[in-house]
Structure 1
Amino acid sequence: MKLFYVLALLISTVCASPIAEPPEARWTTKYTGRIQIVPTNGHPLGFVYNFTNDVNGVSPNRASDVHVTFNYTHGTPFTMVATNFLKPEPYFQYLGASTGHEGTLIPKSADHNELGFHRQPAITPPYSTPAEWAMGRKYETSIWTLDGQSKKLTAQWVNPDHSKPTTHIVYDKKLNEVLFVGDLATYNRGTPGHHAIEVGLYFVSD
Structure 2
Amino acid sequence: MRIFVLSCAIALLLSVCSAGAALTNAQRLARGLPILPPKFGRSLPGYARSPTVAGVKDPSPSSAPPQTITGRILVKSHNGKSLGHLHNMASGINGVNFGASSADLHVSFTTSRSGKGLIDIQAVDAAFHGPHYIGTTSSHTLATGSSTAVDFGNAIRTPVHSPPVPAGQHNADESAIWTFDPRTHELKVQYVNPDGQTAKTIIAYNIHDNTIFFVGDIGAYNAAQVHPDHHVSPITFYLDSAVKK
Which TM-score band (shorter chain)? 0.7 to 0.9
**Which whole-Å CA distance do the structure 1 matches of 2:171 and 2:144 have between them?**
19
**Which whole-Å CA distance do the structure 2 matches of 1:71 and 1:52 have between them?**
25
Contact 2:86–2:93 (CA under 8 A) maintained in structure 1: no
Match of 2:173 in 1: 139
Structure 2 gaps of 5+ residues are 1-22, 24-42, 49-58
**Which whole-Å CA distance do the structure 2 matches of 1:40 and 1:80 have between them?**
22
Give the 3-state SS of the residue equivalent to 1:188 in structure 2.
helix
**Which whole-Å CA distance do the structure 1 matches of 2:228 and 2:220 have between them?**
13
> Offset at 1:22?
4.8
Task: Choose from 152, 163, 166 the match for 2:200.
Answer: 166
CA spacing shift, 1:82–1:32, aligned 2, 3 Å: same
Q: Output aligned runs, 1:8-87, within 5 Å.
A: 10-11=44-45, 14=47, 22=61, 25-51=63-89, 53=91, 56-61=94-99, 62-73=101-112, 74-86=115-127
CA spacing shift, 1:154–1:84, aligned 2, 3 Å: same
CA RMSD of aligned residues (A): 2.4
Match of 1:5 in 2: none
| Deviation by residue 1:117-176 (Cα, 9 ceiling, x = unmatched) | 1101x2111111210122242210000001111100000001232211110112111120
Same amino acid, percent of matched pairs:
28
**Which whole-Å CA distance do the structure 2 matches of 1:199 and 1:21 have between them?**
36
Structure 1 gaps of 5+ residues are 3-8
Structure 2 length normalisation: TM-score?
0.69
Higher RCO structure, 1 or 2 (CA under 8 Å, sep 6+): 1
- Aligned AA for 1:193? P
Structure 1 length normalisation: TM-score?
0.81
Contact 1:55–1:177 (CA under 8 A) maintained in structure 2: no
Larger radius of gyration: 2
| Deviation by residue 1:76-123 (Cα, 9 ceiling, x = unmatched) | 21111112222x31x311100121x4x42233324xx21111101x21
- Aligned AA for 1:29? Q
Match of 2:149 in 1: 114
Query: What is the aligned length?
Result: 187
Match of 1:124 in 2: 158
Q: Which runs of 4+ in 1 moved over 3 A?
A: 20-23
